[in-house]
Every structure is written in C-alpha cells, then in structure tokens.
Structure 1
C-alpha cells in the first residue's frame, strides 16, 4: 500500500495579509507625501489669489516668453534626439561593428554626468575664453546665452531617453524579420519603415514623451548656458526660480502649474503607451502560439 506524503509549501512573502497591507499602505503614504501633496500645493497656491491673478501672471510678457522659449526648445531638441536615438538603437541592435560598446557608453554619459557639469563644459567649449569662443565671436555667432546653447544643453541631457527605450526591445526582437526583408530584395530604408519601425512604435512614442517632459523641465544645464536673462533666455523653470527669489510666490506657483500639468499628462501618456505596448506583445504572442500549434489542436 503506497502512502503519499503531502508536504506543506513554505509561505511566500505575499501570503501574509498583514505584511501585504502594511507594505501597500507604506507605499501609498509615501506616494501621497512625496508626489501627490506637492501637486496639490502647487494648484492651491497658484489659485490662492483668484483666477484673475492667475491669468494675469500667465499673460505677463516675461512668462509668455519663457513658455514660448521652452516650447521652441522642445520642438527642436525632441525631434533631433528622436532621430539620434532611433539611429543609434538601429545600429547597435541590427548591425555588428567595432566600437559598439563604446557607443553604448557614450549614449549613457548624460545619465552619469551632472547637468551643471555639462553646462560648465559647454562654457569651456563655446564661451569667449573657450575652445571655439574666439572663432565664433569673430563671425558674430552666438551659441551661449542664446537659443542654440539652450537647445544643445537640453539635447545633451535628454540624449539617452529614446535610445534606451528602443535598444532592449529591438534586442529582444532580434534580426530575423530584417534579414528576411533584405533577402527578399527590400532596401534598407524600406526594411526600416515597413518592418522595424512598426514593431517599436510604442516604445518610440514612450521615449519621445519622456524626452519631451525632461526638456521642458530641465534646469541645471540650461541655467549655466542661458545666462538667466529675464525675458530673453529664461526658460519656464528658470523663470519660476526668478519669480520665487523676487518673493512673487503666487506667480511662481502659477508658472509651476504649467509644468505640473505637463507632468500629469506625461504620466497619463506613459500609462496609455505601456498598455498599448503590452497589448501589442500579447497579440504577437497569441499569433506565434497559434502558428506554432499543430493543426486541429487548440490550446
């Protein structure tokens, strides 16, 4: 007579209801204190003196110029960084060449270098006492304390975002589809637009959203290269700092509310794109499973 011995499985960490609820409670409390509370305070302080003061602050010429300069910087830096990120990810994941690891290191440099340090480095390159400063001054070309310097600094800080979103996904997808396309006679550009790009479009949009949010909120590098000239080279974060130091708290919070709204929309777009990407991966997995299963047998 055979006897079966049942072994009790050791409890997992999540099996304890008290521990699970305590952990969730701690996360919710910290999230409320560190994330939700500042957003609520920004909204309350921005409208503390009424709608008229809020609208009047946003209609101030310096505020309007700061908003326009921030938007202009984003419209230039984000597309350029998108092109760079897509090209770098495509080259790293789809081709073999010398210096691939070096290119990966170069892409990740902005993550390890302080934005302030990057701004100071640009001073030594494009400033009057810098490497190219005398040449630029001779031809009356302004890089620093002007729009080009702000765009360059913003591009440096946000350069890795698109590439780092695309590289893991494109590595996981492999090269089979691209190799099949080229073997059938498709050109490199046709392969990219017809095969590669449709498979990474959600990750690409996700990287663009993050890049745009970082460009609009960048402070450190831009504060060095812009010169903080009121009404000329102040982006929205720099304008908020000036208002705060001028004891115009309501104006500072009113301007900060714009960045807060951008942050909220960034979170919403992030969640939506993650769901779209997850749905796309699930459909792909179902298609592969159905194609691999024997005929007449349904999983």
Structure 2
C-alpha cells in the first residue's frame, strides 16, 4: 500500500473536487439558476407548451420501450456470454462494447443506410409492407436501444461470474427445468445488477441526442424528443424553455443516480 503525505492528499482532493466542480457542478447549478430565476414561471410556461409536452411524452415512451428491450436481450446475452461456450464468443463480447466507443451520430447514420425507405437495404421492403422505420418512432427506439444496450450487460456479466453456476447445476440435478432454474435461482442472484443496469440504461436513453437526431427527422410533434426540443428551443431564441427542458432531463438523471446510490449498499450486503 502506497503511503502519501498529508499535503499531497489535500492537493489531490482539491484537484479532484475542483475538476468535478468546474466540469459538472457549476454548469448544472447555472442551468438550475437560469430555470428558476423567475421562480416557477419558466418551468410552468414550458410545461404549458404542447411542443414541449409532446417531446417529453415521446422521450418517455421511447426510453421505456428501449429499456424493456435492453432488459430482455441484455440478460439473455449476459447468460449466453457467461454460461455457454460457442464460436465467436469474443467477437460478440467486443461488439457489445461498440456503442461505448462509436459516436452516436455514426450509429444513426448506419441505421439510416440500412433502413432508409428510399435506398436502404431493408427500408424499401419494409415500407412496401406498410411499416415505416426511419423518421418514425421505431427508428428512435432502435437508436436508443443501440446506445444503451451495454449498460445492462456490463452490470450483469460480472455478477454472473461471481455467483457461479453451482446452484443452477444443483437445481437441474434435482429436476428443475430451465425456466424454473432461471426464475428461482439465477434471477434472484442477479436482481440488483439487473436493476442497476436498467436504471443506468434509463438515464442514458432519456438523454440520447446524436443517434436520435440523425434517424428522427426532428419533426415537431411527431419525432422530436426532449433533447431535440432543447436544441430547437435554444436555436429558436427561446432559451427559457430550453433551460426548463434541460433541467427536467437533469432531474431524471439525478433521480436515477439516487436510486443507484440506494441500491449499491444492498448489492454489497
């Protein structure tokens, strides 16, 4: 264990606190100040705007659907990576981390090339069947799922490694079926990791901007999410509404962090 002198400890603390303060705390505090400098008037006016309300509702729907999809596939992929051996396992594990290393704008462009209704690979076939993907809600859900998928998997996989499969093998040897083993043995042992991943996935989904901007078309009242509404309001010289929407998004993220903070002690215990 490396021992450091007291002055060095205080210097490191000052640097760390100063870094977090100037990068995160101060900008967020300024956002809150601008939102409430006229009391609740700015927030009330923003929530009385149909465009803002529609954007918030769309964001909530898209985030909810994306979180549910990522929950199902995230747990499934986690079990596949930990409990089974198959060709291409390392490639799959590397691909899961791709959304964390690739710009969301690139993700949106890739989806556009595949599902665009005019010249995409699958877009014309889907649109001829009456199913529109691009510049509609399905595209928003797909883009959000892509950027948030690793958050569930990377929380569940380490826990599955830690708990092992001894109890699962014992349950199967006693005649338990696959679904029974999952619901009674596997899921209870990873439930806090799943909840933790879901909370992080929700926070990430609510705040997605780059990929959604490319695939949505930013149609007011149809495909304009809350983050896109912030850009539209700010560029339209309606800064108070932009501040109010941003503050609401920050509030959701803070709520997610509070949930995570309460879950962490439970996980350790």
Number of aligned pairs? 268
Instruction: Name which of 230, 235, 246 aligns with 2:236.
Output: 246
Aligned residues of 2:114 and 2:123 also touching (Cα < 8 A): yes
TM-score (norm 1): 0.86
Instruction: Name which of 159, 162, 171 aligns with 2:161.
Output: 171
Distance 1:51 1:114, change over 3 A: same
The equivalent of 1:121 in structure 2 is: 110
Instruction: Name which of 107, 111, 135 aligns with 1:145.
Output: 135
Aligned residues of 1:154 and 1:222 also touching (Cα < 8 A): yes
Local SS of the residue matching 2:31: helix
The equivalent of 1:223 in structure 2 is: 213
> Pairwise CA RMSD of aligned residues?
1.3
By how many angstroms is 1:85 displaced? 0.7
TM-score (norm 2): 0.96
CA distance in 2 between partners of 1:67 and 1:277 (Å): 32
CA distance in 2 between partners of 1:55 and 1:126 (Å): 39
The equivalent of 2:69 in structure 1 is: 80
Local SS of the residue matching 1:13: coil
Instruction: Name which of 239, 247, 252 aligns with 1:257.
Output: 247
- Give yes or no for the alignment of 1:200 onto 2:190: yes
CA distance in 1 between partners of 2:96 and 2:142 (Å): 15
By how many angstroms is 1:112 displaced? 2.2
Structure 1 residues without counterparts, runs of 5 or longer: 1-10, 280-299
The equivalent of 1:189 in structure 2 is: 179
Render the CA deviation track for 1:110-158: whole Å, top value 9, x for unaligned.
Answer: 1222111111111111111111222223233211111011001101111
- Give yes or no for the alignment of 1:63 onto 2:42: no
By how many angstroms is 1:21 displaced? 1.2
